[in-house]
Amino acid sequence: MKNQIEQLKKEKNAVILAHYYAPAEVQEIADYVGDSFYLAKIAKQSKADIIVFCGVYFMGESAKILNPDKKVLMPDLTADCAMAHMVADGIIDEMRNKYDDLAVVCYINSTAELKCQSDVCVTSSNAVEIVKALPNKNIFFIPDRNLGRFVAEQIPEKNIIINDGYCPIHAKIAADQLTAVKEKYPRAIVLSHPECEPEILKLSDYIGSTADIITYAKQSDVNEFIICTEDGVNYKLVTDNPDKKFYFPNPHPCCADMKLNALESVLSVLLNEDKEVIVDDAVRIGSLLPLERMLELGK
Ligand code: 13P
Ligand code: SF4
């Protein structure tokens, strides 16, 4: 399968992008593997005719919005991010009516329709610096309450109103599960994604995006880590650091949608070119600006 994928990629001038949560065998054959911000930048710069995006729908959709003339395919178009939809109808208008000087800051884990109603997108690796750089004092942060709270704690001078969405996978990591791993491996330090609930972040030694966690573990002198994020990151952590140990809370956090990106489906979509991401023109134009603003401010 891997050989066939390689051959098809060459024949069709296709490139494979995979998120760190994709299955290990897909990360292995991907041309670029990274966090959401890195993959959005790569998608924007790509010279390929076809982008195969192994992630969840909002990621493939963002790649298409940034590359309207390219064919963006996904191994499984039903791979969705539950949090991407967690903003109540009408709430953005309500907030805009309430505050004159409001910036709607939209985590990239959101539908394109939500991006259309926003001023700027952010990812977990640039949210703090982008919100800091905005001239607005009043910010409505959608959809993630946990990333929103993490940003607000670091920018106390702004009034950050937080929408009540969350990632069901990170929200399931419970403090007693983390405490049990900490007791078992007392020398390990805790690296967590900001989508975790506050009680997990309070018990953490470092908080960052998937790429930040991977960089931190590589540069650290410590040899044992407890990782509070989706367990797909284990592949890169172990590849980069064969002598270090990585533990996860039990049960391992696992995003079933990310795991829909099976190797067989990558091959099939490259062969048949049938699972194409299509974005309506009006939605594409409306959501391009906040995405481009993110790429500009996050440079
Ligand atoms: P990153 O911003 O670290 O890629 O995280 C994306 C995500 O979906 C986390 O659950
Ligand atoms: Fe969405 Fe959570 Fe899956 Fe990330 S881990 S893609 S936030 S459901």
Fold matches, 2-79+258-280 and 173-247: yes
Residue 20 CA, closest ligand 1 atom number: 4
Answer yes or no: is the C-beta of 294 below 6 A from any ligand 1 atom: no
Answer yes or no: is the C-beta of 36 below 6 A from any ligand 1 atom: yes
Whether residue 211 is predicted with pLDDT greater than 90 in this model: the reply is: yes
Which ligand sits nearest to residue 169's alpha carbon? 2
Q: Specify the CATH superfamily of domain 83-167+287-297.
A: NadA-like (3.40.50.10800)
- What pLDDT score does 232 carry? 98
Identify the residue whose C-alpha is closest to ligand 2 atom 5: 255
Task: Provide the sign of the torsion angle of the four alpha carbons 57, 60, 64, 66, taken in this order.
Answer: positive
Residue 250 burial (C-beta neighbours within 10 Å; 0-12, 13-18, 19+):
exposed
Say how far residue 129 (Cα) sits from the centre of its chain.
17
Identify the residue whose C-alpha is closest to ligand 2 atom 7: 167
Whether residue 299 is predicted with pLDDT greater than 90 in this model: the reply is: no
**CB 158, CB 139: distance < 8 Å:** yes
Give per-residue pLDDT as tens, 44-90.
899 999 999 999 999 999 999 999 999 999 999 999 999 999 999 99
Say how far residue 217 (Cα) sits from the centre of its chain.
19
State how far the Cα of 97 lies from the Cα of 79, in Å rounded to an integer: 35
The CATH number of domain 2-79+258-280, selected from 3.40.50.10800, 3.30.70.120, 3.90.1640.30, 3.40.50.300:
3.40.50.10800
Residue 169 CA, closest ligand 1 atom number: 10
Neighbouring CB atoms inside 10 A of 116's CB total 18
Answer yes or no: is the C-beta of 46 below 6 A from any ligand 1 atom: no
CA 280 vs CA 40, 79, 88: distances in Å: 19, 19, 22
Give per-residue pLDDT as tens, 213-242.
999 999 999 999 999 999 999 999 999 999
Answer yes or no: is the C-beta of 81 below 6 A from any ligand 2 atom: yes
Q: For the sheet with 50-54, list strands across it.
A: 32-34, 14-19, 50-54, 71-73
Domain ranges (residues) in the chain: 2-79+258-280, 83-167+287-297, 173-247
Fold of the 173-247 domain: Rossmann fold (3.40.50)
pTM: 0.96
Give per-residue pLDDT as tens, 247-287.
999 999 999 999 999 999 999 999 999 999 999 999 999 99
